[in-house]
Amino acid sequence: MARTKKTTKNAGVKVDYKLQYAEDLINCGEPNRLFNVGDRIQISSGNLGETTVKEVLEDGKIYLIHCPESTNGRGEPIPATDKYFMWYEVRKVAPVTTESFITADPDLHLSYSQREIDGLLTIIYHFGCDFSPEYQREFVWTLEDKQALIVSIFKGIDIGKFVFVHLGYTGRYGYEILDGKQRLKTIQEFFEDRFPYKGKYYSDLSTRDRRYLSMYNVSYAELRDATREQKLRTFIALNTRGRVLNNDQIEYAKQLYKEETGCNFEKKRGG
């Protein structure tokens, strides 16, 4: 988000904006749209409502925008002022329409939070985790794949999100892993000394490295009270973005979905 500045009412205002936006002018790229003096526009950042172009500067890279008098959220008056904005913040007035690309599915909404790896291991060892629900593929990671994950953790690189299904506390498993099976199993195996990293097993690591791994934060979410249909739909949705699973596994999950609902996955989703 670009900075905005109040203007002054003297001849030095243009010198001022060049000093304020020196780096922005270098990095902003060439504008792909141009507004004229007097055009009504909106600013993408903030809630300024409709404003007016007062001056076009630097071949359209910077605009001096007149912001009319308004009120804040408490109803207090905000006096009219002129402010500078970079070209990429200046937009045409949004049309009044009910059209929207937002098609959120309420029962597939996942709220992610941060959880330490130690917390994932607690799910496995204390509550029980089903690694092989019907829609999941087999364990396919090689030793090289597993060691690459440990490299990422030690380098502080994001290792992706983990999604669990909460099953309750009455059965054998309290959870099942919906997304992140290969990564979760790799973490468990490394903590159990089942493969080495750079010639060392987990038990050979220093206290500092052990603590770092245990306290490493990952993105975590869970589905609760999910039906079979919801689990399958979520699994397919999460794994049809990017090169996550092969087509055969996705098609198998869609087949299970069709058996459960009586309709194709695409048809159910409306497209």
Segment 9-58, tens digit of pLDDT: 433 344 478 888 888 888 888 999 999 999 999 887 666 667 899 999 99
Say what the pLDDT of residue 104 is.
63
- pLDDT value at residue 68: 86
Q: What is the CA radius of gyration of the chain?
A: 27
| Tokens of residue 46, six digits | 């903030």
H or E element that contains 80? none
CB 79 within 8 A of CB 72: no
109 secondary structure, DSSP code: -
pLDDT category, 100, cuts 50, 70, 90?
confident
Confidence at 77, pLDDT banded by 50, 70, 90: confident
Please choose, from the candidates 96, 95, 94, 90, the residue with its C-alpha nearest in 3D space to the C-alpha of residue 37.
90
| pTM for this entry | 0.64
pLDDT(155) > 60? yes
Spans of all domains in the chain: 5-92, 106-269
106 vs 270, higher pLDDT:
106
Q: What is the largest CA-CA distance in the chain?
A: 77
Q: Which residues contact 234 (CB under 8 A, 6 or more apart)?
A: 108, 110, 163, 178, 223, 226
Q: Residue 123 has which token pair? A: 């799910």
Share the mean pLDDT of the chain. Answer: 84
Give the relative orientation of helices 228-238 and 247-261 as an angle to the nearest 10 degrees.
150
* Residue 58 DSSP code: G
pLDDT at residue number 1? 47
* Average of per-residue pLDDT across 66-73: 82
The vertex-119 CA angle with 172 and 173, nearest 5°, equals 5
At 186, is the pLDDT very low, low, confident or very high (cuts 50, 70, 90)? very high
Q: CB 263: neighbour CB atoms within 10 A?
A: 11
Number of neighbours of residue 262 by Cβ within 10 angstroms: 8
